[in-house]
């Protein structure tokens, strides 16, 4: 019993002790090698699950190459641990690596995601509502078995103490030798590795736990750069727009930024199910609605897509580490009234300089429960938000941005009131892998059915207005519903499937707006069949108000080619 207590006590102290101490417990390098091997194997199940289907059919060569890569990862882990898990840092460093590897592995296996800088940004930007949806029984079991249990064993593991000088020399030498051997193994298998990476570029984002560390560091550097500089102004040459004689004669545009709606399930785009029955009925009744058939998003997550959507340069020139003004700033500079209503996790900095409202504090029976409201809360709040804007600016024109909760997963069933659960049975858990694929689709399609209702109600309200009025709806990104083993969104853009990048977009414009712009509606309907993207939104919205600036590109204004001369 005394020996056990002595062994545990020795694991607590710094390296460097008595000769008696050095004989008890695990050899320090053996302990580090044990953890390095665990992280390389159990901590990287998603990586090996992706590698083995490719390497397995190669037989003995596939075995040898996969084993070599596992050894490379174990050796890198050993070097990192030898240099960082020193003295009193041994336990917390080991537990931190176990937590990073275990947590990331669960989400990669459960939802098919990968960990890159944009995913790290999503983690840091996630609010309580989103985090709560991810706390599934599967996650708790995975954390218990993959983090808590091995972490507890590592913390309690008795390790011998070394004299300090010897420990430094040995650790430095072992770390250097491990890295040298890892480089040698990589060199020997480089051709196989290069071929594999070319065929599956997502593999680099599966290397635990260094994918998470790199992603967090990259996100942190970008955020620090943003915070250290004021936003670069745009449109300084813009001229103030003239005011209308009456407020109800000034243009009003409502931009609805959807959440996680994908084009593949959008009824107006030809989906087998009619997930947009009310919008379709409005079109049949003669309402001027045009649905754009081929629209791609700027990113595969809200943190990227929303700021990029409001930026002038589009995806090609979007730099998340550069602070820059956006569409809302440009319109305010032109004298317009601008407001942002958010039923989600925030505007990602876009609305920082305009009046904005969040709905998470509202308690409206039938619409809100806890800290989450259904999207009809935006319609309820919109009139008051418009009225609160300065009257002189409202007489020039108004842009209201409504940011939906939309189809945010994985708890799709939470996004819809009972009256809109038409497609049954639906998945009623956030643990999607526990549901039948058809039930996941049912729950997701119900969210689109509800978005259809919200947009139709909004159009009905706007149609009563006498002045030039328009509504533009576009989703921020798409969603994977289990295709190819992928769920949710956030894959790196270069390897993301079309389901995460193709989004619905539609425009409604009343007669007053069409006359104001000289718009040829038949021309616009033809244009809507051609490819479009988020790159067009900035310039199209500015064009609806008639803003003039060198920052605007007429070729990216979806309406420019359909305006009659004069």
Which pLDDT score is estimated for 221? 66
Contact 488, 476 (CB under 8 A): no
CA distance 75 to 435: 39
Residue with tokens 């995913």: 119
Q: How many Cα atoms are found within 13 Å in the side-chain-facing hemisphere of 414?
A: 18
| Domain 247-562 architecture | 3-Layer(aba) Sandwich (3.40)
Counting Cβ atoms within 10 Å, is residue 6 exposed (0-12), middle (13-18) or buried (19+)?
middle
Tens of pLDDT, residue by residue, the chain (566 residues) = 344 333 333 333 444 443 333 457 898 899 999 999 999 999 999 888 888 887 777 778 778 888 888 899 999 999 999 998 888 889 999 999 999 998 888 888 888 877 777 777 667 667 677 777 778 888 888 889 889 999 999 999 998 887 777 778 888 999 999 999 999 988 888 777 777 776 677 777 888 888 888 777 776 766 666 566 788 999 999 999 999 988 889 999 999 999 999 999 999 999 999 999 999 999 999 999 999 999 999 999 999 999 999 999 999 998 887 889 999 999 999 999 999 999 998 899 999 999 999 998 899 999 998 889 999 999 999 999 999 999 999 999 999 999 999 999 999 999 999 999 999 999 999 889 889 999 999 999 999 999 999 999 999 999 999 899 999 999 999 999 999 889 999 888 988 999 999 999 999 999 999 999 999 999 999 999 999 999 999 999 999 999 999 999 999 999 999 998 65
* 323: three-class secondary structure by DSSP: coil
- Please give the distance of CA 21 from its chain centroid, rounded to a whole number: 51
Q: What is the CA radius of gyration of the chain?
A: 28
Name 302's Cβ contacts closer than 8 Å, sequence gap at least 6.
Answer: 122, 125, 259, 344, 345, 348, 476, 477
Total number of residues shown for the chain = 566
Domain layout of the chain by residue ranges: 28-223, 247-562
User: 337-342 and 356-358 as β-strands: parallel, antiparallel, unpaired?
Assistant: parallel
Which pLDDT score is estimated for 228? 62
CA diameter of the chain: 96
Peptide bond into 209 cis (omega under 30): yes
The four Cα atoms 400, 406, 410, 411 give a dihedral, to 10 degrees, of 110
Long-range contacts of 130-137 (CB under 8 A, 24+ apart): 130/345, 130/408, 133/409, 133/410, 133/411, 133/414, 133/430, 134/107, 134/410, 134/430, 135/430, 136/429, 136/430, 136/431, 137/431
What one-character DSSP code corresponds to residue 315? Answer: G
User: What is the residue-wise DSSP string for 284-296?
Assistant: HTT--EEEEEEEE
SS3 content of the chain, % helix, strand, coil (to 5): 55, 10, 35
Cα angle: 289, vertex 403, 293; to 5 degrees: 35
For residue 93, give Cα distances in angstroms to 98, 121, 206: 9, 23, 20
CA distance 232 to 196: 41
């Amino acid at each position: 019993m005394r020996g056990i207590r002595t062994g545990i006590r020795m694991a607590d102290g710094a390296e460097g002790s008595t000769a008696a101490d050095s004989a008890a417990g695990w050899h320090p390098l053996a302990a580090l090698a044990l953890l390095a091997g665990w992280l390389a194997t159990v901590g990287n199940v998603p990586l090996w699950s992706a590698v083995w289907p490719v390497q397995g059919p190669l037989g003995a060569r596939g075995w040898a190459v996969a084993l070599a890569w596992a050894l490379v990862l174990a050796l890198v882990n050993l070097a990192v641990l030898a240099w960082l898990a020193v003295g009193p840092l041994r336990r917390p460093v080991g537990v931190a690596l176990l937590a990073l590897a275990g947590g990331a592995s669960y989400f990669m296996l459960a939802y098919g995601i990968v960990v890159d800088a944009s995913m790290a940004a999503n983690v840091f930007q996630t609010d309580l509502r989103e985090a709560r949806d991810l706390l599934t029984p599967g996650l708790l079991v995975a954390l218990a078995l993959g983090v808590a249990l091995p972490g507890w064993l590592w913390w309690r593991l008795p390790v011998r103490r070394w004299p300090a000088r010897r420990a430094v020399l040995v650790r430095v030498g072992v770390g250097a030798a491990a890295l040298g051997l890892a480089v040698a193994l990589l060199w020997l298998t480089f051709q196989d590795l290069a071929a594999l990476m070319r065929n599956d570029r997502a593999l680099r984002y599966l290397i635990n736990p260094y994918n998470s560390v790199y992603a967090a560091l990259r996100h942190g550097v970008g955020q620090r750069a943003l915070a250290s500089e004021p936003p670069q102004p745009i449109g300084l040459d813009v001229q103030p727009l003239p005011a209308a004689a009456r407020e109800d004669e000034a243009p009003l545009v409502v931009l609805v930024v959807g959440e996680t709606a994908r084009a593949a399930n959008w009824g107006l785009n030809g989906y087998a199910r009619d997930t947009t029955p009310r919008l379709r009925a409005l079109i049949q009744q003669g309402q001027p609605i045009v649905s754009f058939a081929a629209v791609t998003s700027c990113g595969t997550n809200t943190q990227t897509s929303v700021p990029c959507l409001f930026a002038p340069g589009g995806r090609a020139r979007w730099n998340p580490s550069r602070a820059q003004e956006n569409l809302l700033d440009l319109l305010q500079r032109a004298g317009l009234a601008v407001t942002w209503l958010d039923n989600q996790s925030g505007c990602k900095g876009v609305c920082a300089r305009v009046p904005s409202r969040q709905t998470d504090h509202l308690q409206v029976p039938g619409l809100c429960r806890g800290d989450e409201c259904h999207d009809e809360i935006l319609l309820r709040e919109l009139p008051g938000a418009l009225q609160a804007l300065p009257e002189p600016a409202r007489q020039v024109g108004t842009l209201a941005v409504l940011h939906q909760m939309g189809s945010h997963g994985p708890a799709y069933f939470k996004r819809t009131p009972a009256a809109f659960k038409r497609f049954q049975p639906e998945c009623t858990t956030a643990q999607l892998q526990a549901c039948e694929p058809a039930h996941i689709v049912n729950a997701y399609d119900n969210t689109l059915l509800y978005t259809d209702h919200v947009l139709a109600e909004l159009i009905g309200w706007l149609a009563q207005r006498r002045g030039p009025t328009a509504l533009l709806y576009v989703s921020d990104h798409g969603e994977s519903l289990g295709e190819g083993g992928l769920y949710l969104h956030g894959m790196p853009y270069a390897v993301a499937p079309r389901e995460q990048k193709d989004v619905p977009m539609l425009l409604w414009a009343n007669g007053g707006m069409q006359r104001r712009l000289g718009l040829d509606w038949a021309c616009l309907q033809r244009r809507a069949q051609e490819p479009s993207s988020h790159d067009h939104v900035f310039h199209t919205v500015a064009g609806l108000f008639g803003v003039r600036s060198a920052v605007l590109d007429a070729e990216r204004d979806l309406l420019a080619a359909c305006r009659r001369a004069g």
